[in-house]
Each structure stands twice: as structure tokens, then as C-alpha cells.
Amino acid sequence: MDISFENVAYTYQPKTPFEHRAIHDLSFQVSSGTFVAIVGHTGSGKSTLIQHLNGLLRPTQGQVTIGDYQLSSDKKLKEMKELRRRVGVVFQYPEHQLFEETVAKDIAFGPANFGVDQAEIKKRTYEVIQAVQIPEDLLERSPFDLSGGQMRRVAIAGVLAMEPEVLVLDEPTAGLDPRGQKDIMDMFYRLHQEKNLTTVLVTHSMEDALHYADHVIILDHGTKYMEGKPAEVFVKKEELNKVQLDLPEVIQFIFKVEEKFGFRLTYRGQELSELAQELKELIRGADNHE
Amino acid sequence: MNKLILGRYFPGDSWLHRLDPRAKLLAGVYFIFVLFLANNWETYLVLGLFTFAVMRLSDVKFGIYLRGVRPLIWLILFTVFLQILFTAGGEIYLDWGPITISEFGLINGVYIFCRFVMIIFISTVITLTTKPIDLTDAINILLRPLQKLRIPVDELSLMLSISLRFIPNLLDETQKVMDAQRARGTEFGEGSLFRQMKTLVPIFLPLFVSSLNRAEDMANAMEVRGYQSGEKRSIFRQLYWRRRDTLSLFIMILLTTLLIWLRTEGGIGH
């Protein structure tokens, strides 16, 4: 589904002394099937933005359009439930939302709320546990017996079982070990491609944004600061530093190489180690020619 | 949840903000007792003026106090109407079975209304102008004498300060869990009472589990930092009793004297 924000503003507790303007003058467009990363410093309004995508918050100004659904301040959306089914949100630390007796029941909770029948739920459950790599024998265990990493996978499976068309991820890898972080991100990327999802990733990690996203939106103080293709956005060192963001490691590496050797490596999604290898070969090649 | 004004702290620098929390707490509790001295319109007028003056001193807008009363207004009105409908005495305006609207009933109703509102206003003044942490310190010190009766005052005040500290966290977490479950298709506040109660399970259980986890983490963190219950500890945040604190208690005594005088001498029919 296409997503578009038109001059959206959201104020928490308006007309009270605790009034707080979280986002303002926010406009952007994301076409269906895009993997978009939303990056910004803490408090830049990322999480508030996310809650507009499935109608948990309604803009106090402007208009949010998701597919055929429109959210604005003046009217309530009738098909809210349908919107929530089609936009799956994985919140920060999603393992905190588990509550059922067994893993299987917890995964079924979302689809059951949206009226999916038992047989279909069962079919989906087996699909999603494979996608998030949970062994089948865990299905009848209590979610509270699992390790932190497994609990998060179960929580994610619960969202995927709704078969959303838009997947919204709010720092899905926070607090995981490096291996777990990579596994989960790769999994989301695979799903994104296989199911042709529109994925919105909120992250602090420039590396993830560069590596997975097609489009990057940088927020600062509640409004859009920059947007574009990751490879174009993440080379603007001064602009990023102004909003307390760093370049991803690989880009920093490429810049350092340029500074030292006078030539530029081209970025095509390589890891740091692959870039180092490339550099090694280039230098060796240059040596051989002399 | 955000509508709750009662129990919230409002940063500021008024005369009341700078008052020692012990003085405020003592004066506040004392005021609630003093309220029961009032029995005629002069005494209520004096108390009303006093309450209004205190509220002005706090530098907080009047509207905020009104919002503090709003969530309780139905409870107050309910009590007031019961009082009006079932009190007999004086001139009778309406008599209908067990229900009588009488002069005494009406007067009592108005008095009870004033009493409720003043109690809420004064306690709101205290919480709006005192940091919760200062309040617990004050409670701890004021309860000290109870230690002689083997009541574990330090532990109680520790529990109190931990609870206060975690209220905002728990509220935040409640909001997060609710959002997460709404995203998974739960609709709150819809359907029959039974269905509505069932939708609370997906909120309560995660909150309960995370509270248990948090308690364990916190107990461990306290222990590794050398906390042992029952041991003598020093105090980091010292409270200082100044002249204005004595003055505030003195004002309360003046108020009491005035009320007692109005009760006996100045009142109508005396």
C-alpha cells in the first residue's frame, strides 16, 4: 500500500501545560513495496510517526493516507480494524506484549481478533514460525519459559500471522546480540521481498538503514530533515553531523580510503570486510603493474 | 490518564514551592481536620477564602485546580444529593415518601459540597507544589516516632518512594502494551461488560509479568549496591526547617482560633 503524509502535525495533550508538539509539517511519500528507513536522533518523532500508520494516533493537523484509508483530525475512520489488520506493527521490545498460556495461542491472538478461522490460523502459524525460525516443539510451551531472543521471535510471529501488507518495525533489533540482530534483520528483508511488503523500519543503526532500505527519511525535531536513496543521503557528512548522526561505518571507511590512497571504492551493499578485501586487491593490483 | 491532575507535580518557584514539605504535609492534614470545625456560613466563608488564598500563592492557574475536581465531580454530587434527599429538619419544601427536601438537607448538601471541594483543592495544592520524592521524605520523618512501636517506618517509606518512582513507568508501559494489543486487533471499551473484562487480560498479564521481572532486577541492583534492610542509613536529601515553615503552622493556629471564635460567638442564632 502506498503511504503518504501531507503536512502532518501531532501534538500530545493539546491545550494543557503538558502540551508537546511531537511532529509538525511532515510530508513524504512512500510507494508500495518500498523498504523505507526512518532515522533520527532520540526524540525526533519517529515513534509518534509510526503510530499514525495504523491509526493508533490521529494527526492533529494534515492528512495521512495509507492505501485507500485516510486519517485526519476531523473524522474518525470507520474501517479502523481493517486498517490495523493490513498494517502490522512490531513495537519496541515486542516480547513485553506476550500473555497467552502457549506460544501457539499467542501467535493466534492477532488473527483471531480479525476473525480468521481456526484452520487458517493453524496453517499460518506453521508458516510464520518457519519464517522467524522457531522450532515447532516450542508451540505448546509457555512464552515466558523462552529466552529473550525466542520471545521476540514469537512476538514478531504474532504480527506476521495477521498477514499484513505493510510491516512497521520500531527498532526491532534493540537489545539483541549482534548475531541475533543480523538474523532478525535478514529475516525481515527476506519477508519483505518474498511477500512484496511495504516495510517501514525505524532504527538508530545507520548500517541497517544503508544495508536494507531503498529509501531513507531523516527526522529532526519532529520534521523531515532529509530524504533520498541511502547511498546518496549517507555521504553527506556535514549535514548528518548537524543532527547528531554519524555516517555508517562502511561509508566512513570509503572516505578514509579516498583520503589516504586518492581513489574511491564504489559501494554496492558490501560488508566492511568485503570492502577491505576489495581494497587489498586493488592495492596489490596497483603494485603488480609497477 | 493524562487528565489526572491530583498527584501531579508542577515545577515552579512560588512561596509554597519553597516551603518545607513537612510543613506543607502537617498543615494540609491539619486543614482537613479543621474543616470539620466549620458549622455555619461564616466559618465556611473564612475557610473558602483561606483555600482561595493558598491556591493563589501556588502560582498555578485556577483552571488546573478545576480540572483536578472534574474526575471526582460525580462522586461529590452523588453524596450531596443523598444528603439533600434524606436529611430531615427545618422547613420542609417537599415531602414524598422517604424522600424529603428540607432546609437542613439543602444547607448540609451545600456544606458537604464545599468541604469536598476544599479538601481536593488543598491536597492538590500540596501535590502540585511538592516533588513526590520530597513528600516521601517528609512522610518518613513525620512517621519516625512510630518506630518506637516497632513499625518499620524506613521500609514503609522505601516502598512508598519506589512505588511513586515507578508510577509513571507503569503508566507508560500500560500505554505501550495497550497500543501493541490494539495493533493486534483488540478493541478496548467495546461490547458487553464480559467482553470488555476479557480484553483486560492481554494488558494485565504482560504488566504483571514485567513488574515481577522489574522487582527482581531492582532487588538485585539494590543488593549489589550494598542495601540491607534494617540497617542505619544516612540521608542524602536533607530537609531544612526555616522561619516561613514555622510561620505557616502559626497561620494554621490563627485560622483555628478564628474558626472556634466564629463557631461560638459570631454565628447566626448564637
In whole angstroms, what is the distance from residue A164 CA to residue B94 CA?
Answer: 65
**What's the first-to-final CA gap in chain B, in angstroms?**
48
Residue of B nearest to A145 (CA): B209
Which residues, including other chains, have CB under 8 Å from residue B20's CB and lie 6 or more apart?
B138, B239, B240, B241, B242, B245
The reported pLDDT for the residue numbered A156 is 93
pLDDT surpasses 90 at A189 = yes
Residues of A with Cβ-Cβ distance to B183 under 8 angstroms: 54, 56, 84, 88-89, 91, 159
In whole angstroms, what is the distance from residue B30 CA to residue B48 CA?
Answer: 15
Task: For chain B, list the strands marked E by DSSP.
Answer: 92-96, 99-102
In whole angstroms, what is the distance from residue A174 CA to residue A184 CA?
Answer: 11
Mark the ranges of chain B whose per-residue pLDDT is less than 50: 1-3, 267-270
> Measured on CA atoms in the order B210, B214, B215, B220, is the torsion positive or negative?
positive
pLDDT surpasses 90 at A188 = yes
Whether residue B58 contacts residue B128, with contact meaning beta carbons closer than 8 Å, is answered with: yes
Number of A–B residue contacts, CB under 8 Å: 59
In whole angstroms, what is the distance from residue B172 CA to residue B182 CA?
Answer: 15
Q: Using one digit for the tens of pLDDT, what is the confidence trace for B90-131? A: 667 777 766 777 888 888 888 889 999 999 899 888 888 888
Whether residue B16 contacts residue B9, with contact meaning beta carbons closer than 8 Å, is answered with: no
Whether residue A265 contacts residue A279, with contact meaning beta carbons closer than 8 Å, is answered with: yes
Residue ranges per domain, chain B? 1-152+239-270, 162-229
Residues of B with Cβ-Cβ distance to A162 under 8 angstroms: 184-185
DSSP letter assigned to residue B265: I
The reported pLDDT for the residue numbered B1 is 40
Q: What cell numbers appear for A127 in the block?
A: 508458516
DSSP letter assigned to residue A166: E
Which residues, in sequence order, are bridge partners of residue B101?
B94
Question: What three-state secondary structure class fits A23?
Answer: strand
In whole angstroms, what is the distance from residue A116 CA to residue B239 CA?
Answer: 61
In whole angstroms, what is the distance from residue B89 CA to residue A121 CA?
Answer: 69
Whether residue B111 contacts residue B44, with contact meaning beta carbons closer than 8 Å, is answered with: yes
Whether chain B has a CB inside 8 Å of the CB on A162: the answer is yes
Whether chain B has a CB inside 8 Å of the CB on A17: the answer is yes
- What domains are defined for chain A? 1-78+165-244 (3.40.50.300), 248-290 (no CATH)
Q: Using one digit for the tens of pLDDT, what is the confidence trace for A110-167? A: 999 998 999 999 999 999 999 888 999 999 999 999 988 899 999 999 999 999 999 9
- Distances in whole angstroms, Cα of residue B36 to Cα of each of A73, A160, A267, B88: 49, 61, 79, 21
Average pLDDT of chain A is 88
Number of C-alpha atoms within 13 angstroms, CB side, residue B152? 8
- Rounded to two decimals, what is the model's pTM? 0.77
Q: What cell numbers appear for A218 in the block?
A: 531523516
Question: What is the total residue count of chain B?
Answer: 270
Q: What cell numbers appear for B265 in the block?
A: 460567638
In whole angstroms, what is the distance from residue A177 CA to residue B187 CA?
Answer: 35
In whole angstroms, what is the distance from residue B52 CA to residue B122 CA?
Answer: 9
Residue of A nearest to B1 (CA): A13
